[in-house]
Structure 1
Amino acid sequence: MGFFYNVPGIEGWAIAFAVLVALMALNEFGRTTMWGGLLLFLILPIGLTIYVWPTTAAPGNEYGTGNWFNWVKTYSALAGALGFMAIRYIPSLQKNKWALAFPAFILALNIFEACLRDFQVYTFAAWDGEVIDNLWLMSGSWNIMNGIAGLLNIITICGWAGIMISKDKSKDMIWPDMIWAWIIAYDLWNFAYTYNCITDHSFYAGVVLLLSCTIPAFFIKKGAWLQHRAATLALWIMFVMSVPQFVDVIAPVPATRDPNAFFAASFVALVANVALFVYQFYKIRKHKLNPLKDEIFSDTKPYKLVVEENR
């Protein structure tokens, strides 16, 4: 028995690895070809919306995919993926300050939605854990801690004015100021959010899904983390909305439901985001920067490397 999960042996790890590879491969398919992106994030979801999701994600279904949050998250993730494609492939948008603000806006909106859900779970007062809307949840101080961590993560989004399009064939949306420190703080917060709010689904929606966008951001296409995140999130949610029994029946990885695990995940997320906020505030004060206009990390090695690789 692990601290966070009871992974069912080698078979469970093999399935998780297969999901990870599939998400990364589909992300690459959508990233490297415009028609691939349109197929995955426009044509496919239109068909699913009409013919599949009204049944598999109907309100009150036994797998918990019919709640408001799943539907909102699905379309906000798709809006992000399609919006980023528009910026990548429509030259006039690449110099439009309002268009460049869209990635920051949709990212902040997605984080804020999750913060609201964390706070909502706290109001359920399920202190000993209970099934609510067909999902097992446990309310606690961790919901408040992680909600605050998420709000700090929103505040520390910076440097969107410096978003650029890579000069290679894939035309990726590159955000140089989104360096590793922010990505790790986000990952820790998002893992804690999934553990708090979709506990028994969080192994896939938290651990595997976060790896599927963080690995490409560090090793395949640096600087394009948000593009990777929007694509893999949209892909995963579409899959779960279509095959909701996957995480509960086909390949379940149950959480330990240990209050200490909830507390640890949210505490680490809060500490990481406080540290990021303090570091960012220090750089703003030291260099007299405007966080709404200026790039904060332009003097760092990761920033310079991303710009050099994509200019």
Structure 2
Amino acid sequence: MGILYEVTSFTGWGIWLFVLFALMAFNELGRTTKWGGIVLFLIVPAALTIFVWPTTAAPGNEYGTGNWFNWVKTYSALAGCLGFMAIRFIPGLARKRWALCFPPLILALNIFEACLRDFQCYAYGAWEGAYIDNLWLISGPWNIMNGIAGLLNIIAISGWFGIFISKDRTKDMIWPDMIWPWIIAYDLWNFAYTYNCIADHSFYCGLALLLACTIPAFFIKKGAWLQHRAQTLALWIMFVMTIPSFADRIAPVHTTHDPKAFFAVSLLALIANVALCIYQFNKIRIHRLNPLKDEIYTESNAYKRIIEENR
């Protein structure tokens, strides 16, 4: 038995790597071609909504994909993808301040949805662990800790009026103020959320899915983290809604179900997001910034590099 997960075979790690690289590959298809994005995030989900998901994600199904959270998360992720495509490809839209409010709002909504789910899992009172809506979970202080961490992560969203469209042919939505301090704090919070609320699926929807957007943000297209995140999240949840047996029957990797592990990952997420908020509020105070209008990280090398590469 491992610390976070049960011991995984070489085959299990091979499947995990396939999921990771498939998400990254389809993300690149949706990112680098306009028609790829339209097919992946409009045409395919429209067809699945009509012909597939009413069966595979029906309420009360044996894989737990029929709960409110999965349906809301699916369409909020797709709304983000389509909204970002509109900002990228409709001339002049990226210069409208009201349009630039959409990315932080849809991001905050997605985080808030997950915070509500953490609080809901605590309210179940499953102190010894239980299957609820056909998903195993265990209630505890970690749900409250991580819910607070997510709310702090929302508060730390900054610099959205600095969003612009990259000068290259892919026309990516670049958010230069969203650099590694916020991304790492988000990743720790989101992994803890998946571990708390979708425990036995988190090997994929936590580890693989987060790396599928973080790797491109650091090594493929810097400054476009939110675009990477929205597309990989939409791709994964569409896959899960279509083939709900994947993480339970086809390639299961269970957590250790150890309360200490749940506490540890949520504590780490909370510490990271408290530190992020303290750091940002200190910069706001020192430089007398308006957090609703100004960018915070303009003096950082990461910010300057993003500007140089994309503007």
Amino acid in structure 1 at the alignment position of 2:178: M
Return the alpha-carbon distance in structure 1 between the equivalents of residues 161 and 176 of structure 2: 10
Q: 1:148 offset after TM fit, Å?
A: 0.3
Matched with 2:225 is 225
| 1:65-214 equivalences in 2 (<5 Å) | 65-214=65-214
Q: C-alpha offsets along residues 73-101 of structure 1, whole Å, 9 cap, x if unaligned?
A: 00000000000000000122111111101
Find the residue that maps to 1:112 and give its secondary structure.
Answer: helix
Say whether the 8 Å CA contact 1:65–1:244 is kept in structure 2. yes
Specify the alignment match of 1:234 in structure 2.
234
Deviations 1:134-187, CA, capped at 9 Å, x for gaps: 111100000000000000000000000000100001000000000100000000
For the residues of structure 2 that align with 1:91 and 1:282, how far apart are their CA atoms?
37
> 2 CA distance for matches of 1:121 and 1:67?
13
Residue 8 (structure 1) shift: 2.7
Give the equivalent residue in structure 1 for 2:255.
255
Answer yes or no: is the 8 Å Cα contact 1:7–1:13 preserved in 2: no
Q: CA deviation at 1:7?
A: 3.9
Cα offsets for 1:218-249 (capped at 9, x unmatched): 00000000000000000000000000000000
Which structure 1 residue ranges, 4+ long, deviate > 4 Å from structure 2? none
SS at match of 1:114: helix
Equivalent-residue separation in structure 2 for 1:269 and 1:90 (angstroms): 37
CA distance in 1, matches of 2:3, 2:78: 33
Determine helix, strand or coil for the equivalent of 2:66. coil
1:278 aligns with 2:278: yes
Structure 2 equivalent of residue 301 of structure 1: 301
Structure 2 residues not aligned, in runs of 5+: none
Q: Which residue of 2 aligns with 1:51?
A: 51
Post-superposition offset of 1:6: 1.2
Partners in 1 of 2:293 and 2:8 — Cα distance? 49
Query: In 2, are the aligned partners of 1:161 and 1:294 still within 8 Å (CA)?
Result: yes
Provide the residue aligned with 1:6 in structure 2: 6
* Between 268-277 and 88-97, the greater mean CA deviation after superposition: 88-97
Q: Identity of aligned pairs, percent? A: 74
| Contact map agreement 1:115 1:151 (CA 8 A) in 2 | yes
Secondary structure class of the residue paired with 2:256: coil
Q: Which residue of 2 aligns with 1:31?
A: 31
- TM-score, length basis structure 1: 0.99
Distance across 2 between alignment mates of 1:229 and 1:148:
21
Partner of residue 60, structure 2: 60
- Alpha-carbon distance in 1 for matches of 2:13, 2:300: 37
Distance (Å, rounded) in 2 between the aligned partners of 1:193 and 1:273 = 13
Residues of 1 paired with 2:15 and 2:36: CA distance?
A: 25
Q: Kindly indicate whether residue 215 of structure 2 is the aligned counterpart of residue 215 of structure 1.
A: yes
1:264 has 2:252 as partner: no
Q: TM-score, normalised by structure 2?
A: 0.99
- Give the AA of the match of 2:154: I
One-letter amino acid of the counterpart of residue 4, structure 2? F
Distance 1:258 1:128 in 2: 10
Match of 1:40 in 2: 40
Contact between 1:81 and 1:227, CA under 8 Å: does it hold in 2?
A: yes
